[in-house]
Structures are given as structure tokens and as C-alpha cells.
Amino acid sequence: MSEADILLKVTGLHVRYGAATAVRGVDMHVRRGELVAVIGNNGAGKTSILRGISGLVRPSAGQVTFNGVETVSFAAHQKVRLGLAMIPEGRLIFADQTVEDNLILGAYIRWSRERPRIRTEFDEIFDLFPRLKERFHQRAGSLSGGEQQMLAIARGLLSRPALLMIDELSLGLAPKIVDQLMGLLRDLNAKGQTILLVEQLASHALAIAQRAYVVNHGHIELEGTSAELSGSPKVMETFLGKKRNVV
């Protein structure tokens, strides 16, 4: 693996909130074109890793290299301009704004110079999410939870990210919607979108990712291909709810 293949490289990442350490020396990477999952129990540090990468929290130590640029000191909006977009846990759409307004805000960094092109990209978004077209002029806060997650993904895609990071895709959603959105991520990745997915539903994440990291108490406990981790007795018992057969 050459350095040119690596889109995101995280080295020795530490994230603190006051006296509490949430992330302890995390090393990880994402290659161009990969879909990589980060799994772990609640409170393991998964979200804090994404916040440290995205610039929502300033790491207390470590390096975050994105597309060859050391970005650990960059603010979140600067990283978006470099091509790193994050869909946060809980979606955090602008509830009092329309679906149209939310989509425009997703393309904010491109809006002044690419407005006609972005308008045509709305049609691509509607191909992915027909419900958003139906609710284009509706207040985003009136959407269902699944529709809001669709809007959050669409908003992120309109920044044209080189890397799309998604925090807890399945949170609060019905199983049918989770399956639909997981399939969408798999299809986006097949078309070339690089994705880093934090997800508590380990079986769903491992089913669509090529590789994964298992986080526990703020550090990487296991890493490997999804097939390797799906077959790991520890992962099976802790995250997949399966017992290893004893012969």
C-alpha cells in the first residue's frame, strides 16, 4: 500500500474533554475508494474519534493527515473545503428550514460559483431519495426520522466530499429504513465514494464495509477485514450476539 492510496491517516490521536480522556492513541487509515467501519459499544469513543478527525473537537495529541495535508489544527469548515464531510449523530438538520434550504446549505461552499450545476445535482439527489423531492418545500423538522437521515446524507453529499464520514446511521430508525440506507451506502461506495462509517449495529456495518476497526475504552482493540472480524469469536460474542461453538 502506497502513501498515495491513503486518503485519511490518523496517528496517535488523543481526544480529551476536560480531565476525561475519550480517545487514547488511535491509529487508523482509510484508502481511497474504501468503505471502512468503526464499531464498538456505547461510550467506547467512536464519536469522539470522528469529532477529532473532522475538527469539531481539537485533538490533544496526534496527527490527522487528509489527502496528504496535515489537518489536526484545521477548523471543521476548513476541512469541508478540503473534501471531508461529516454527517453527525442525531442528524442535526436545520429543522425550521425547508428541505430545499438544507440542501443548499450542504452545498454552501460551492453555491456562489456553481449554482446552476448544483441545481442539476438536486436531480441526482432525488434519484437517490425520491421522498426528498416530494417534500422539497416542506419544513425539515416535519419529516420522519428516516427522511431526516436521508436529508442529512444528501446534505453531506452536496459538498462533494472526497471522504464522507457518518456517525451512527441507524440511530432511532426502523429496521427497514436501516437496511435501505445501508444498501445506499454500499451503492455509493461501489460508485467510488470513500466512506468512514461509525455504527453500533456491528452486523450491518460489517456487511457493507471492506475493513473495520473495533473501538473499546478509547483505543483500537481489533482491526481487520470485515470477513475476519465477523468470524472473530470476540467480535461475535460482544457485538454480534453470537456464541462460539465449542467442539
Average pLDDT over residues 77-103: 90
Residue 208 CA to residue 71 CA, distance in Å, equals 28
Whole-angstrom Cα distance, residue 46 to residue 226? 17
User: According to the model, what pLDDT value does residue 93 have?
Assistant: 87
Q: Are 26 and 38 in contact (CB under 8 A)?
A: no
pLDDT, position 239? 65
Tell me if 185 is assigned to some domain.
Answer: no
| Residue showing cell 464531510 | 85
Of 79, 62, 44, the closest CA to residue 163 belongs to: 79
For 20-43, what is the mean pLDDT? 94
Tell me whether residue 7 is in a domain. yes
Asked if 74 and 99 sit in the same domain, the reply is no
CA distance 152 to 94: 10
Contact 240, 230 (CB under 8 A): yes
| Same domain as 166, residue 156 | no
Same domain, yes or no: 74 and 133: no
Q: How confident is the model at residue 2 (pLDDT cuts 50, 70, 90)?
A: low
Q: Are residues 56 and 79 in the same domain?
A: yes
Same domain, 169 and 241: yes
Question: Do 194 and 78 fall within a single domain?
Answer: yes
Print the domain residue range for 153: 93-160
Residue closest to 40 by CA, chosen among 225, 210, 206, 245: 206
**Element housing 8 (H / E):** strand 6-17
Residues 148 and 134 in one domain: yes
H helices of 44-195, in order, are 46-54, 76-82, 99-106, 108-128, 130-134, 145-157, 175-190
Confidence of residue 92 (pLDDT cuts 50, 70, 90): confident
**pLDDT exceeding 70 applies to what percent of the chain?**
95
Residue 181 falls inside a structural domain: no
The confidence band for 242, taking pLDDT boundaries of 50, 70 and 90, is low
pLDDT score, position 104: 87
Whether 166 and 156 share a structural domain: no
The mean per-residue pLDDT over the stretch 184-201 comes to 95
The DSSP call for residue 240 is S
pLDDT band at 245 (very low <50, low <70, confident <90, very high): very low
Asked whether residue 79 falls in the same domain as residue 166, the answer is yes
- pTM comes to 0.90
Query: Do residue 73 and residue 168 come from a single domain?
Result: yes
Burial environment of residue 167 by CB neighbours within 10 A (0 to 12, 13 to 18, 19 or more): buried
Q: Examine residue 182 and state whether it is found in any structural domain, yes or no.
A: no
Identify whether residues 73 and 169 lie together within a single domain.
yes
- C-alpha to C-alpha distance for 48 and 17, rounded to whole angstroms: 10
Domain-embedded: residue 88: no
Task: Write the pLDDT tens digit of every residue in 195-214.
Answer: 999 998 999 999 999 999 99
Q: Residues 112-162: pLDDT tens digits?
A: 677 777 778 888 899 999 999 999 999 999 999 999 999 999 999 988 999
Assess if residue 184 is contained within a domain: no
- Regarding whether 29 and 109 lie in a shared domain, the answer is no
Tally the domains of the chain: 2
